[in-house]
């Protein structure tokens, strides 16, 4: 069929390989975190670090290694070596990481992490209808097109414990409200690449 589906959005789904090791580290981080609402976001959900300055995965070897393994698979899947910017290796850093806690009725606004090449989330404590993660089409014009709207509907994901997602930082996403009495906790992170022309 002579149709090219141009400009795809690479969205990565997986589960951590070492679930018990990662769970142990994230449990410890949860216990040592003082969750609070971001002062400028309203009371939609709590964060382990409202300044985004602590980057705890630096000290969480199993979790960091796991994230790096999946980033490697993601880069392989998108054929990063074919990037016009590729210089023979992937020089990247997990520059920020934090926990998000959603109590009953709490959610996350649609937003992006556009300053970062790759963003990701790991689901630590989720069950039942605790709010789907959703992704908006990067081509919003298609959503109102009579012919093409079915190709640009929001992607909705019901997370399960141990699930790990990676996606381009520019992709708009959010979280529907937690409908349960149980707390939902996830670990988010951003990845930036060292760009040879800036070094
Ligand atoms: Fe986000």
In SS3 terms, the chain reads as CCCCCCCCCCCEEEECCCHHHHHHHHHHHHHCCCCEECCCCCCCCEECCCCCCCCHHHHCHHHHHHHHHHHHHHHHHCCHHHCCCCCCCCCEEEEEEEEEEECCCCCEEEECCCCCCEEEEEEEECCCCCCCEEECCCCHHHHHCCCCHHHCCCEEECCCCCEEEEEECCCCEEECCCCCCCCEEEEEEEEEECCHHHC
Q: pTM for this one?
A: 0.95
| 182 C-alpha to ligand 1 centroid (Å) | 21
| 120 C-alpha to ligand 1 centroid (Å) | 8
Q: Domain segments of the chain: what residues?
A: 12-198
Fold observed for domain 12-198: Jelly Rolls (2.60.120)
| 196 C-alpha to ligand 1 centroid (Å) | 27
pLDDT, tens digit only, all 199 positions of the chain: 799 999 999 999 999 999 999 999 999 999 999 999 998 888 899 999 998 889 999 999 999 999 999 999 999 999 999 998 898 999 999 999 999 999 999 999 999 998 899 999 999 999 878 889 999 999 989 999 999 999 999 999 999 999 999 999 999 999 999 999 999 999 999 999 988 766 5
| 114 C-alpha to ligand 1 centroid (Å) | 10
| 74 C-alpha to ligand 1 centroid (Å) | 18
């Amino acid at each position: 069929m002579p149709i090219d589906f141009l400009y795809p959005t690479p969205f990565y789904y997986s589960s951590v390989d070492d679930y018990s090791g990662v769970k142990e580290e994230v449990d410890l981080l949860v216990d040592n975190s003082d969750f609070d609402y971001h002062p400028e976001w309203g009371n939609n959900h709590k964060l382990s670090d409202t300044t985004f300055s602590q980057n705890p995965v630096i000290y969480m070897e199993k979790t960091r290694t796991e994230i790096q393994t999946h980033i490697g698979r993601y880069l392989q899947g998108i054929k990063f070596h074919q990037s016009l910017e590729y210089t023979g290796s992937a020089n990247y850093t997990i520059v920020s990481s934090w926990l998000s806690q959603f109590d009953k009725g709490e959610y996350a606004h649609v937003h992006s992490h556009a300053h970062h090449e790759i963003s990701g989330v790991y689901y630590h404590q989720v069950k039942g209808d605790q709010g789907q993660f959703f992704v908006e089409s990067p081509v919003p014009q298609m959503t109102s097109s009579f012919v093409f709207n079915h190709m640009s509907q929001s992607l909705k994901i019901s997370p399960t414990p141990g699930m790990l997602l990676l996606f381009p930082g520019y992709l708009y996403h959010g979280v529907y409200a937690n409908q349960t009495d149980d707390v939902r906790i996830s670990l988010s992170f951003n990845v930036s690449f060292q760009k040879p022309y800036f070094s």
